[in-house]
Amino acid sequence: MAAVARNTAGGPPSAGKIFQFKLVLLGEAAVGKSSLVLRFVKGHFHEYQESTIGAAFLTQTVCLDETTVKFEIWDTAGQERYHSLAPMYYRGAQAAIIVYDITNQESFNKAKAWVRELQRQANPNIVIALTGNKADLVNKRTVEYEEAQAYADEQGLLFLETSAKSGVNVNELFLAIAKKLPKTEPAGTRGQGQTVNVNAAAEESKGGCCGGGGGSASAAPGGAARN
């Protein structure tokens, strides 16, 4: 989580570009998704983290070479009943962390199902990281590192084993993702020089009655192309 702002000698601070990415966490219930986020964003760990209801949302910024990367983290509830809601969260996500528990083989199978689903339904350029959490529980391991690593290599995924409890590899995970994400402005979304249609801005969309799908409004108004 440390952000060391790099700087070329004598120049202004590297307040170069800020890139914002939507990142979603998926995985079976109780594998440690919320704990991972909490550890990364707030540096906390609670032994008895309450079950996520709906989805929780937090942001975290990391500084990376010349750029600043801001993660918008959508932490989803893992129970099966919420499965059909997942597309609403991973739609438009640039990155996903699929979490399993190294002491729970079933959660690993579920993780593989998530990988398949994302490969079919999500944004084709989505960066996926597979994470075996609870690495601190060495004596209860049932999913071997090599097996998961092999699977990840086969599918082109990032892979790390982490421990939200001890903090091992948590920051590395997010930094690895930050590094892998493309830091160019994709055409048509967050391009430079976007102007806000002043007429549209002046119209107030009161009430917000639903209707129509929600897009991810990540472009800035005015000329702010980033963040």
How near is the Cβ of 54 to another protein at its closest, in Å? 5
124 in contact with another protein (CB under 8 A): no
Instruction: Choose one: 25-33, 82-90, 100-108, 139-147; the region binding another protein (CB under 8 A).
Output: 82-90
Member of 19, 36, 72, 95 binding another protein (CB under 8 A) = 72
184 in contact with another protein (CB under 8 A): no
49 in contact with another protein (CB under 8 A): no
How near is the Cβ of 159 to another protein at its closest, in Å? 13
Nearest CA-CA partner of 178 in 85, 95, 78, 59: 95
112 in contact with another protein (CB under 8 A): no
Phi, psi of 131 (to 5 degrees): -130, 125
Evaluate the CA torsion angle 179, 114, 50, 88 in order and state its sign. positive
34 in contact with another protein (CB under 8 A): no
42 in contact with another protein (CB under 8 A): yes
1 in contact with another protein (CB under 8 A): yes
- The contact pattern for another protein, residues 3-22, with x = CB under 8 A and - = no contact, is xxxxxxx--xxxxxxx----
Nearest CA-CA partner of 130 in 150, 160, 105: 160
* 75, β-bridge pairs: 25, 56
Q: What is the DSSP string of 128-192?
A: EEEEEE-TT-GGG--S-HHHHHHHHHHHT-EEEE--TTT-TTHHHHHHHHHHHS--S--TTTS-T
Rounded to the nearest 10°, the torsion over CA 133, 134, 139, 141 is -30
Place of tokens 């055409």: 187
Member of 46, 87, 137, 191 binding another protein (CB under 8 A) = 87
Member of 49, 65, 112, 190 binding another protein (CB under 8 A) = 65
222 in contact with another protein (CB under 8 A): yes
How near is the Cβ of 140 to another protein at its closest, in Å? 19
Identify the DSSP state of 207: S
Instruction: Choose one: 35-43, 98-106, 124-132, 181-189; the region binding another protein (CB under 8 A).
Output: 35-43
